[in-house]
Amino acid sequence: MANTRQAKKRARQGEKRRQQNASQRSTMRTYIKRVIKTAAEGKAEAAQAEYRLMTSMVDRLVTKGLIHKNKAARHKSRLNARIKAITA
């Protein structure tokens, strides 16, 4: 437990940031699931639109340092491959 004023403040800030990060991470996962769902349904145009939204979201989280750039690249690559498999 934090004893000093500054330690208490840092604990409050840390908790607030943890909740924001969890929310953003959850949103990212939702965007990824939406791409997977539309791709599974065979809707190429809709999947491409969802992919564009997901890409911007994931890239934003990379710049904020929430996820690693390689993780973002892996997600984008795999989902793009799914969409290309539908169109082919």
Find the domain containing 32 and state its range: 5-87
Q: What percentage of the chain reaches a pLDDT higher than 90?
A: 95
Structural domains in the chain (count): 1
- How confident is residue 1, by pLDDT bands cut at 50, 70 and 90? confident
The band of 54, judged by pLDDT with boundaries at 50, 70 and 90, is very high
| Conformation bin of residue 65: beta by default, left when phi > 0, alpha when psi is -120 to 50 | left
pTM above 0.85, yes or no: yes
Nearest in space to 62 (alpha carbons), one of 24, 32, 33, 35: 24
The CATH number of residue 16's host domain is 1.20.58.110
